[in-house]
Structure 1
């Protein structure tokens, strides 16, 4: 990877939020109607707290091996063979998740913008763009993510127009009406919607500021993503009634559709066009991380990125585009994410304490 200390705290912050903010937020208010309903925004806050605990666990693991990337930590703790197997599972997770994001991306674009364009054309154009950026150095990717983060301000500005519509605060009142059990159940769906924080597993050795300063950076990134997600969930709950949210697949897009102005029409299409960039950013970072998760690969990383892009596109073309197939594919991604993102880092941290191993034992 790049030289140690080449990423600033701001760049790590932007890398994390751009990876987390993807298609999951667009559909989250609809999904939460099956569990916490009007208390969906409380589920988001609970998920943010849970996520912070996992970030702490990951930080404790990375702090013990400050000069090793994640794929090197696994082989150091688990041995060459088991560690390589874990790295392959992690690689599969990145590829499957990238193809799932691409699948959701093409579905959104075809439904709202390019109705008559074939799925494979939209997917191929997206992959060509993402591959070009993923081949670059992580510092270039981080700078690009920092520049496009200004789009969040534009998205927030567009969302303010929704207050011109009738909004009902009673849709989120009384607080806690769904019960603690349903709020916690809803937090599970929220965790899956804001996945992407696993990017920090490969960033710690490159951080210019490690230790508690690194923890502070990823904490503020978590606060930002949790706050942004909570805002959009509350907004959709107030704009739409509960029965409406159950039938609207992407409420975060549709809440702007009723607005019409003399010079600007269909703000929802403008909103979708801007949201394309965070979706692309998620694919870019997954392609890049996939190339770094296979530590045994000795060739140029650019070749591995090209291989990753081809594999992602093949998976994308294989999966059927009907809702049932997409739901089944989503379940596979969900179970794989529990293993790779949550279970394996916890297991590695436990082994590092039991085996009393630290990064300083590795000869550099």
Structure 2
């Protein structure tokens, strides 16, 4: 029965490419140039490239682990390697991480929409509308979610197209010169900050068993997705670096939105508002991804999946209702960045090492 369900809800490698991209690109795009340049300054674009290289390394580590259990979901892999009890504890840790990250994405999205588009609308109403749409799509099967992500990718292409028009605005290449002036230490610190905006690639851990013919071609797919995300972020950061001075970037929290305000056409006076209206969809896909991952980290039973999605959606909604000042939001972001290290780096690497040491693989018995 499980094999039939897996085939029914499976995705192609083509769809995997878009799912990974949509899981990574979202609300973090707007503040990325501001966050990275705090340490890397004009070399922020180098930090993005290094962060992309780090993501590629981690994706390869994930793939080595997953290939040892090609038909098992990640919640089963942890139990096979660590034992049933410890495995369930790790799964709950992943669940907590996904809920918190999904909540943070919702909070940041609601604050942005409230500030830029709907200043009079109550935050709880914006959050309710967003999460209702997210729950509605997430309770469907993975194949439908993947198809929606493929369609939503067109809006990322739209952003790239709009960004090209900013090249008509005054630019100053001197803002990024001399290259490497920030020093290796600051560039690496900036790279670490950039990695937080690039999270979402850990979705591979939970998607691998659903990929059709996952025995070949997956490395190429995830590498191309990572190259696209890295190139996309590098381009956006580079445009912002040559458009604003370092002092200006320190003061502007969302430089990309501010940059679009400088664009004006005969038919469109506020390009930034038009762009934000469209970008709600890519921001929503990130929340959908974390809703799906949180639900899959607790159970692989399809009977309880829809119920868990609804419960998780309500939980994220309740968390988003907590009053969030800038200080609380920054503190929330800081603690979630600590969770990132455990979920993205430590646990997958340890699982791979333990699976090799104790020779655990799909045909092995649970410890």
TM-score in terms of structure 1 length: 0.97
1:186-225 deviation digits (Å, cap 9, x = unpaired): 0000110110001111111111132441011001000000
2:30·2:256 contact (CA, 8 Å) conserved in 1?
yes
Alignment gaps of 5+ in structure 1: none
Query: How far apart, CA to CA, are the structure 2 residues paired with 1:299 and 1:6?
Result: 17
1:85 aligns with 2:89: yes
Per the TM alignment, residue 346 of structure 1 is displaced from its structure 2 partner at its CA by: 0.6
Match of 1:343 among 343, 346, 351: 346
2:42·2:175 contact (CA, 8 Å) conserved in 1?
yes
**Change in CA separation of 1:280 and 1:298 when aligned onto 2, cut-off 3 Å:** closer
1:94-133 deviation digits (Å, cap 9, x = unpaired): 1000000000001110111001111111111100010000
Count of equivalent residues: 362
Equivalent position SS for 1:116: coil
1:20·1:282 contact (CA, 8 Å) conserved in 2?
yes
* Counterpart residue number, 2:177: 173
Per the TM alignment, residue 171 of structure 1 is displaced from its structure 2 partner at its CA by: 1.1
Equivalent position SS for 2:6: coil
Query: How far apart, CA to CA, are the structure 2 residues paired with 1:240 and 1:200?
Result: 36
* Counterpart residue number, 1:240: 244
Match of 1:332 among 331, 335, 348: 335
* Counterpart residue number, 1:60: 64
1:72·1:295 contact (CA, 8 Å) conserved in 2?
no
* Counterpart residue number, 1:24: 28
1:95·1:287 contact (CA, 8 Å) conserved in 2?
yes
Equivalent position SS for 1:177: coil
- Which segment is superposed worse, 242-251 or 334-343? 334-343
Match of 1:353 among 351, 356, 362: 356
1:161 aligns with 2:162: no
TM-score in terms of structure 2 length: 0.96
1:279 aligns with 2:291: no
Equivalent position SS for 2:57: helix
Per the TM alignment, residue 298 of structure 1 is displaced from its structure 2 partner at its CA by: 7.8
* Counterpart residue number, 1:288: 292
Per the TM alignment, residue 285 of structure 1 is displaced from its structure 2 partner at its CA by: 1.2
